[in-house]
């Protein structure tokens, strides 16, 4: 096989494979040739996925459950496993299946590689803040190379749940609040994971999750019900999943939540009618962990057997660790409650992915110790991670051009527990990242600061004790004993860089919060520091939009860096010292107050959108009495060290299409990257439309004084929407087109468009 490793202009690693992709026809024939040999039990086995927290290479397997799992693997009754890690373990487990079972069908090995395997890339929400397809694609590619080199061939990513509620801890895993931006990222992520050939041993199968509406859990509470309208489901939650199918996602995962009263796992309309029907998805759907069994608790299934029946009827093909299909499918088929053709369809889908991955040609093709040793956590991956991370930071405020740090600054006080943390930047959902393997902000600053004295004081303490993926994070009690030292250093230094935000284990699965203000007494310390040193930069680390009105009022400069991965500290220092001009834009609205959540820019107008013009103190309009309606920092927002000016918006309408042009000029002193954003509004429609929705964007890099004309072609897909019967079309008439810097700053024009 030809394999060429080369660098794109952005120095991003791209791996090209010359292997041939199986034609659909041949693939189907191969799949059927296996299916015909299988007994019902063996077919059911393919739908059965085990968790693998057990050692296959260890001397003994004490646990009874593990023993029976191993027997089942040997008997060909297991289709796949999750959480079996390393080439050694995977080879041993695969061997059990391939060398002992009657047909020797290889198992699939999957794992949650959400933003890197050992080399951490920025968390997905941060990647989305780059608004850069290449950032998403290359991040997924690095993840794929390391994952595949560890013997695995399937990741449970990307998570593409549109989410507009900062309370939901899993907002960090997706691309934010907008369906279009999420769709763009989805396509890039899938391309990055899967490449153009799944059988390449450096690519892995992607899994678009969680289908569907998991981002809409009520009040942002984990595992809660999603009470979502059909309009929002079709137009906001589903489009990224459609993009995933179009991008060739090999697998889908369903969700824990109810959708309109029906668990997503038992949702026939979603899985059979839309996903496998209208969209023609040919891969398979894996349940979320135990989500089949949980249909009993939801009050939808009578018992485990009934849950199995409902899940299979609805199109859930594989059962993740629930053991429901394993225990009950045979009986359900025997009694006629499940037709065997449904099982055949599920198995066909699973086998197809196994063939595509090349596992039937060589079940151990991903198992190569030398590749494992060579590829995982290699320096090139870290370099790329740094390049990627600096594109994800969003400059929220920069009064008097405080940043980048000027030459006259000779001493910097770095403050805050998170500033010295080598672990927080790695983020949650960190696969095999080694604890404390990241570059801290403090290290990054020290590496970059030449002839500058750097002092460090913890100042405040946010968390205490053990921090990990599974257990509740313990916040440290408020304690001001560290304040004095921090204040002294702040007083004695030319500049202060203060790390604020959230521990990375405040976001991720099971990490919902009712209050998205910064915890502990960090804001109090900020206030005290601001009184003595106004050369103050806040570096904000979060995995969610946080409510920071006080920080925004006090700090002259704020740089939102999310959790930037292994090289986070160096990447942030690149920006602080002006080696990279910040270019990130918010993929989520930052509210003033948590009570504004769910907050999103593409809201509908309401019947009472504005105050009474004759008497603004009359209360009868859609507003809060204690908060603005708008975001503190809106969707699409982000500053640069330079300034961009927009002018001359023009359009030409032609046969259902609109050609839009706008001039963008760099009117500042240094080169910079601008993200030109296009929003549209259909002001009158049969279903009331949002006041604006993002339909396109382009990034332009401009030298000082340089001007370009940026062009967009908009057509029916940009002006249309899904109607209640799930048909998509645009309604003829007037539209508003808005082009600009972000969702609240644009130039607009009206156009009349007629579609066929
Ligand atoms: C539950 C999570 O919801 C899902 O995203 C993940 O892939 C599975 N657990 C497996 O770890």
CATH assignment of the domain containing 698: 2.60.40.10
Pair 536, 672 in one domain = no
Write out the DSSP string of 429-446.
Answer: S-TTPPTT-SPPHHHHHH
| pTM metric for this prediction | 0.97
Pair 533, 391 in one domain = yes
Residues of the chain below pLDDT 70: 1-21, 59-62
Domain count, the chain: 2
CATH assignment of the domain containing 415: 3.40.50.1700
Pair 490, 388 in one domain = yes
Tell me whether residue 156 is in a domain: no
158, 210 Cβ separation under 8 angstroms: no
Regarding the beta carbon of 509 and ligand 1, being less than 6 Å apart is answered: yes
Regarding the beta carbon of 429 and ligand 1, being less than 6 Å apart is answered: no
Tell me whether residue 148 is in a domain: no
How far is ligand 1, taken at its centre, from the CA of residue 288, in Å?
6
Pair 440, 574 in one domain = yes
The DSSP element (H or E) to which 751 belongs, if any, is strand 745-753
For ligand 1, atom 10, the nearest C-alpha belongs to: 289
The predicted pLDDT at position 340 comes to: 98
Pair 576, 713 in one domain = no
Cα-based distances in Å from 477 to 63, 179, 661, 681: 40, 39, 55, 48
Regarding the beta carbon of 321 and ligand 1, being less than 6 Å apart is answered: no
Pair 521, 649 in one domain = no
* Number of other CB atoms surrounding residue 509 within 10 Å: 18
Tell me whether residue 714 is in a domain: yes
Q: Domain containing 405: what range?
A: 381-594
Tell me whether residue 211 is in a domain: no
The predicted pLDDT at position 18 comes to: 35
How far is ligand 1, taken at its centre, from the CA of residue 695, in Å?
31
Tell me whether residue 493 is in a domain: yes
Atom of ligand 1 nearest to the CA of 210: 5
How far is ligand 1, taken at its centre, from the CA of residue 650, in Å?
47
Pair 560, 665 in one domain = no
Among 560, 594, 628, residue at a domain's last position: 594
Rounded CA gap, 458 and 525, in Å? 11
The residue ranges of DSSP E strands in 131-269, in sequence order, are 154-155, 207-211, 251-254, 258-259, 262-263
Regarding the beta carbon of 112 and ligand 1, being less than 6 Å apart is answered: yes
Pair 571, 713 in one domain = no
Among 533, 568, 594, residue at a domain's last position: 594
For ligand 1, atom 9, the nearest C-alpha belongs to: 289
How far is ligand 1, taken at its centre, from the CA of residue 571, in Å?
29
How far is ligand 1, taken at its centre, from the CA of residue 207, in Å?
11
The DSSP element (H or E) to which 29 belongs, if any, is helix 24-35
For ligand 1, atom 11, the nearest C-alpha belongs to: 112
Tell me whether residue 2 is in a domain: no
Regarding the beta carbon of 156 and ligand 1, being less than 6 Å apart is answered: yes
How far is ligand 1, taken at its centre, from the CA of residue 289, in Å?
6
Pair 657, 569 in one domain = no
Tell me whether residue 300 is in a domain: no
Would you state the torsion angle of the CA atoms of residues 113, 545, 171, 151, taken in this order, to the nearest 10 degrees? 0
Regarding the beta carbon of 288 and ligand 1, being less than 6 Å apart is answered: yes
Task: Report the SS3 class of residue 455.
Answer: strand
* Ligand 1 mutation pick, 174, 215, 253, 291, max ligand atoms within 8 A of CB: 253
Pair 669, 588 in one domain = no
Rounded CA gap, 181 and 179, in Å? 6
Residues in the chain: 756
Tell me whether residue 702 is in a domain: yes
* Ligand 1 mutation pick, 112, 161, 319, max ligand atoms within 8 A of CB: 112
Pair 568, 661 in one domain = no
The predicted pLDDT at position 9 comes to: 33
SS3 for 214-249 is HHHEHHHCCCCCECCCHHHHHHHHCHHHHHHHHCCC
Regarding the beta carbon of 306 and ligand 1, being less than 6 Å apart is answered: no
Pair 429, 529 in one domain = yes
Regarding the beta carbon of 317 and ligand 1, being less than 6 Å apart is answered: no
Write out the DSSP string of 597-658.
Answer: -S--SS----S--S--SS-TT---SS--SSS-SS-SB-TT--B-SS-EEEEEEEEEEETTEE
Verify whether residue 288 is a known catalytic residue.
yes
* Cα 328 from chain centroid (whole Å): 35
The residue ranges of DSSP E strands in 287-410, in sequence order, are 319-320, 394-398
620, 612 Cβ separation under 8 angstroms: yes
Atom of ligand 1 nearest to the CA of 159: 5
Atom of ligand 1 nearest to the CA of 83: 11
Among 555, 573, 594, residue at a domain's last position: 594
The predicted pLDDT at position 61 comes to: 58
Q: Which of 161, 178, 200, 288 is catalytic?
A: 288
For ligand 1, atom 7, the nearest C-alpha belongs to: 156
Atom of ligand 1 nearest to the CA of 173: 5
């Amino acid at each position: 096989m030809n394999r060429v490793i080369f660098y794109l202009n952005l120095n991003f690693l791209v791996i090209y494979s010359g292997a041939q992709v199986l034609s659909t026809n041949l693939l189907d024939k191969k799949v059927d040739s296996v299916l015909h040999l299988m007994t019902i039990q063996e077919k059911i086995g393919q739908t059965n996925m085990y968790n693998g927290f057990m050692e296959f290479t260890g001397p003994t397997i004490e646990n009874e459950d593990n023993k029976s799992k191993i027997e089942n693997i040997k008997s060909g009754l297991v289709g796949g496993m999750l959480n079996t890690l390393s080439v050694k373990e995977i080879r041993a487990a695969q061997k059990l299946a391939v060398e002992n079972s009657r047909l020797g069908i290889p198992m699939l090995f999957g794992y949650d590689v959400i933003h890197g395997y050992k080399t951490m890339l920025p968390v997905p929400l941060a990647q989305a803040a780059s608004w850069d397809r290449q950032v998403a694609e290359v991040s997924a590619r690095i993840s794929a190379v390391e994952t595949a080199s560890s013997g695995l061939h399937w990741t449970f990513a990307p998570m593409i749940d549109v989410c507009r509620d900062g309370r939901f801890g899993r907002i960090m895993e997706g691309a934010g609040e907008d369906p279009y931006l999420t769709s763009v990222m989805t396509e890039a992520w899938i391309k990055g994971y899967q490449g153009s050939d799944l059988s390449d041993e450096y690519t892995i199968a992607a899994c678009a999750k969680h289908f569907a509406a998991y981002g809409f859990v009520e009040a942002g509470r984990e595992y809660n019900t999603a009470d979502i309208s059909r309009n929002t489901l079709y137009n906001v939650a589903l489009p990224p999943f459609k993009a995933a199918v179009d991008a060739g996602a090999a697998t889908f995962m369903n969700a824990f939540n109810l959708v309109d009263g029906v668990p997503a796992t038992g949702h026939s309309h979603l899985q059979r009618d839309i996903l496998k029907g209208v969209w023609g998805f040919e891969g398979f759907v894996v349940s979320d962990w135990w989500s089949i069994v949980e249909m009993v608790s939801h009050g939808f299934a009578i018992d485990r057997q009934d849950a199995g029946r409902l899940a299979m009827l609805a199109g859930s093909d594989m059962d993740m660790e629930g053991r429901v299909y394993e225990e009950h499918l045979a009986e359900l088929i025997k009694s006629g409650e499940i037709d065997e053709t449904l099982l055949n369809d599920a198995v066909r889908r699973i086998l197809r992915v196994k063939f595509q991955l090349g596992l039937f040609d060589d079940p151990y093709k991903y198992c190569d110790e030398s590749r494992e040793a060579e590829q995982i956590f290699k320096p090139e991956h870290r370099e790329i991670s740094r390049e990627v991370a600096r594109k994800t930071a969003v400059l929220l405020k920069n009064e008097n051009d405080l940043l980048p740090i000027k030459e006259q600054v000779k001493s910097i006080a770095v403050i805050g527990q998170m500033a010295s943390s080598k672990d927080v930047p790695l983020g949650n959902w960190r696969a095999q990242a080694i604890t404390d393997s990241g570059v801290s902000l403090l290290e990054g600053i020290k590496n970059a600061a030449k002839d500058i004295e750097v002092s460090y004081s913890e100042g405040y303490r946010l968390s205490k004790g053990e921090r990990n993926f599974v257990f509740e994070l313990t916040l440290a009690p408020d304690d001001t004993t560290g304040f004095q030292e921090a204040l002294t250093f702040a007083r004695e230094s030319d500049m202060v860089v203060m790390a604020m935000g959230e521990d990375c284990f405040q976001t991720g699965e099971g990490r919902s919060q009712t209050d998205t203000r910064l915890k502990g007494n960090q804001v109090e310390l900020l206030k005290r520091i601001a009184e003595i040193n106004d050369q103050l930069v806040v570096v904000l680390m979060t995995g969610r939009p946080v409510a920071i009105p006080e920080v925004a009022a006090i700090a002259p400069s704020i740089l939102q860096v999310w959790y930037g991965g292994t090289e986070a500290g160096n990447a942030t220092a690149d920006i602080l010292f002006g080696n990279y001009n910040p270019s990130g834009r918010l993929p989520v609205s930052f509210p003033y107050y948590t009570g504004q959540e769910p907050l999103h820019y593409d809201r509908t107008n309401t019947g009472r959108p504005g105050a009474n013009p004759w008497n603004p103190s009359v209360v009868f309009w859609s507003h809060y009495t204690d908060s603005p309606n708008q975001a503190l920092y809106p969707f699409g927002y982000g500053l640069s060290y330079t300034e961009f000016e927009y002018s001359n918006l023009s359009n030409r309408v032609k046969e259902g299409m609109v050609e839009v042009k706008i001039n963008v000029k760099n009117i500042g002193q240094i080169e910079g990257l601008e993200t030109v954003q296009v929003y549209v509004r259909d002001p009158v429609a049969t279903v009331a439309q949002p006041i604006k929705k993002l339909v396109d964007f382009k990034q332009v890099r401009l030298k000082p004084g340089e001007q370009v004309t940026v062009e967009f072609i908009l057509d029916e897909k940009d002006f249309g929407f899904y109607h209640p019967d799930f048909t998509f079309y645009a309604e003829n008439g007037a539209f508003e087109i808005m082009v600009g810097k972000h969702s609240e700053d644009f130039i607009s024009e009206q156009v009349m468009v007629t579609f066929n």
